[in-house]
Amino acid sequence: MRVLPRWLEHPLTRGLEIDDPRTTALRREIVRSKPFLRRVYVEWYRLVRDCLPHVPGEILELGSGAGFLREVIPRALTSDLFPTPGVDLVVDAHCLPFRDNSLRAIAMFDVLHHLSDCRRFFAEAARCVRPGGVITAVEPWVTVWSRFVYRRFHHEPFVPEASAWAFPASGPLSASNQALPWIVLERDRTMFEREFPWWRVARVTPLMPLRYLASGGVGLRVSAPGWSYGLFVGLERLLAPFMPQLAMFVHVVLERVDRGDDRALSRGAP
């Protein structure tokens, strides 16, 4: 249950529904106005850039929203569920409008846990991403520390004990389970690997126990000053041995495997 006082909410988006497209547009301004938060985003983008494979195809970002990925990866295609400034395409992750084997990578930042039917997404992504390509994402993660923070100070549902991967589809941002990436790729990893043999879990790196909190995110008016970013980086390096217990986020890389049976992924295949 969220217990943050109303006065901490950012004034630009106070009173707006989270699913209102105006909220996403205003969050773009918030990210650019908070130097500490902007550096968090830049670090996430560099993590993704540095794991991109050297194969042909487009790089698609899903749920681009308030971000600025193209400043780090200039040729990326940006997308969201609704038209918003700076976004190239309106795309539903459950039904990707791309040809088979046409994408080099799909990048996501805080998006996977909003997908009400992630099985459909993983199947669609396997169809569109060519062998050797990747899904690369930064998502919330489940640890002792994140359980405490997400359950008490965040508006989105956080349900690690959920038995199902799917949840009711409502709004594009209000529908979620922040624990979903951990459920699929940690708790139920054997099931994921059995159901989606086209994806190899290449990297699961827990990270950032403090920096995003210190930034205030896109929802809060408060933020650590930009000059203090390096201090938090140093502190988190000292905490590295305890990252499995303290991480708030995870960087995931799923590599598309060539199994020789890609026809089974085409739409309409029996």
129-140 and 249-256 beta bridge pairing: antiparallel
Average pLDDT over the chain, rounded to whole? 91
All structural domains of the chain, each given as residue ranges with its CATH number in brackets, are: 6-265 (3.40.50.150)
pLDDT at position 263 is 62
Residues 45-102 pLDDT 10s:
999 999 999 999 999 999 998 899 999 999 999 999 988 888 999 999 999 999 999 9
H-type helices in 109-188, by residue range? Answer: 118-128, 144-153, 180-182
Average pLDDT over residues 34-49: 96
The span from the CA of 240 to the CA of 97, in Å, is 40
Which 8-state DSSP code applies to residue 113?
G
pLDDT at position 11 is 76
pLDDT at position 15 is 76
What percentage of the chain carries pLDDT values higher than 90? 73
Residues 103-144 pLDDT 10s:
999 999 999 999 999 999 999 999 999 999 999 999 999 999
Q: Is the pLDDT of residue 270 over 50?
A: no
What percentage of the chain carries pLDDT values higher than 70? 94
35-44, 77-86, 193-202: least confident range: 77-86
The total of other beta-carbon atoms located within 10 Å of residue 270's CB is: 3
Average pLDDT over residues 235-263: 92
Q: What pTM, to 2 d.p., does this model score?
A: 0.92
Which 8-state DSSP code applies to residue 76?
P
Q: Is the pLDDT of residue 3 over 60?
A: no
Given a contact cutoff of 8 angstroms between Cβ atoms, the answer to whether 108 and 224 are in contact is no
pLDDT at position 51 is 95
Nearest CA to 44 out of 181, 182, 205 is that of: 205
Helix (H) or strand (E) holding 246: helix 243-246
Q: What is the CA radius of gyration of the chain?
A: 18
Torsion 75-36-28-107 (CA) sign: positive
Given a contact cutoff of 8 angstroms between Cβ atoms, the answer to whether 59 and 105 are in contact is yes
Local confidence band at 156 (pLDDT 50, 70, 90 cut-offs)? confident
Q: Is the pLDDT of residue 268 over 50?
A: no
pLDDT at position 4 is 53
Q: Where are the beta strands (DSSP E) in 17-165?
A: 58-62, 77-80, 89-90, 103-109, 129-140
The span from the CA of 241 to the CA of 46, in Å, is 23
The residue written with tokens 């502190």 in the block is: 235
| More confident: 110 or 174 | 110
Nearest CA to 209 out of 188, 173, 235 is that of: 235
Residues 6-34 pLDDT 10s:
657 777 777 778 778 788 888 889 999 99
Q: Is the pLDDT of residue 1 over 50?
A: no
| More confident: 15 or 193 | 193
Local confidence band at 266 (pLDDT 50, 70, 90 cut-offs)? low
